[in-house]
Amino acid sequence: MIATCTLNPSLDYYLEFEDEIESDKTNRSTLEYYEAGGKGINVSVVLNNLGVPSKAFGFLGGFVKDYYISLLTKYSNIQPNFTYIDGNTRINIKCLGKDNIDLNAVGPYITQESMENLKAKVLRLNEGDFFVLNGNTQPNLNEDIISLLKELIDNGVKVIVDTNIDLLKEVIKLKPFLVKTTVEELENVYGELDSAKDVAKVAKEFYQNGAEHAVIIYESEKAMMASKEGCFKCKFVYDEIVNSVGVGDSFVAGFIMNYIRSHDAVDSFRFGAACGCATAYSKSLATREKVDKYYEEVEVKEIDD
């Protein structure tokens, strides 16, 4: 089983504009629609598009929750298993035009009772299952999340983590299956990373400190991976990006799916990059047809020490 967890999901309200969005003016959209948002949900959606079932954990609450769940019913391979809370799930506004504008809410406070409810559900996972924690973790949950991930790893669950860098660095010590982050996140801790060599150094550090596979997305179009097989890089965006939302999440979904069938980390790195590419060149998240097309184009190169 693959389980994804989105601790701070969002109902994303998309507005598309033909004209430039201007301040101090009424801007009228040409198209509006809603999507169930959140990085863990993005992973589940891409897995669904690849024909792979997943169970979706996280917190939902308020008047948003029922509509959010209804949006997931169109995905036959996603099984929602959310913990319901008293607070309102956030609504994010995505304005798409000549310049994209994101207006993201902070999200609700999660009580200890709600966290314990979530932990009880997640700890039913068995040895060999995959658990994907994607997206921002609320600061008051850090200790609970570290405790949960430790117990999962001790139970033989393969844990994948893509969250805020301060928590990610602590999780690496637990020896997770995969960690994934971006240079933008890393620079909050490491300062400016000027070159691929700098990125490779951090990826190797993460691997040496415990991560079985450490992946870093950099320059919005390239990926680096350090693992026991070595250090590898690839470029997965070759033209102008159509959509940057969910590129990294698509990578995670593709890596997991391919690893389950091949147990080949390097080929999974390549397949994950193809999934990221398929999302980057689409208005929506990656589909199997597009992934197969871009898989043939992605080239992985080993980096010499």
Each residue of 166-220: pLDDT tens digit?
A: 999 999 999 999 999 988 888 888 888 878 888 899 999 999 999 999 999 887 6
| Closest by Cα among 183, 181, 130, 91 to 5 | 130
Percent above pLDDT 70 for the chain: 96
Give residue 197's domain range: 177-305
What pTM value is reported for the model? 0.93
* Residue 266 belongs to some domain of the structure: yes
Cβ(233)–Cβ(303) under 8 Å?
yes
* Residue 301 belongs to some domain of the structure: yes
Distance, CA of 105 to CA of 282 (rounded, Å): 25
* Residue 281 belongs to some domain of the structure: yes
Counting the structural domains of the chain, the total is 1
Q: Residue 106 belongs to what H/E stretch?
A: none
**Per-residue pLDDT in tens (0 to 9) along the chain, 305 residues:** 999 999 999 999 999 999 888 889 999 999 999 999 999 999 999 999 999 999 999 999 999 999 999 999 999 999 999 999 999 999 999 998 888 888 999 999 999 999 999 999 999 999 999 999 999 898 899 999 999 999 999 999 999 999 999 999 999 999 999 999 988 888 888 888 878 888 899 999 999 999 999 999 887 678 999 999 999 998 876 566 666 677 889 899 999 999 999 999 999 999 999 888 878 766 777 777 777 788 888 889 898 76
* Residue 205 belongs to some domain of the structure: yes
Residues comprising the chain, all counted = 305
Cβ(149)–Cβ(185) under 8 Å?
no
Question: Who's near 9: CB < 8 A, 6+ residues apart?
Answer: 36, 37, 38, 40, 41, 58, 59, 60, 68, 89, 90, 135
Question: Who's near 221: CB < 8 A, 6+ residues apart?
Answer: 235, 236, 237, 238, 241, 280
Query: What CATH number does the domain containing 296 carry?
Result: 3.40.1190.20
* Residue 282 belongs to some domain of the structure: yes
Active site members: 249
* Residue 102 belongs to some domain of the structure: no
Match 């913990």 to its residue by tokens. 83
* Residue 78 belongs to some domain of the structure: no
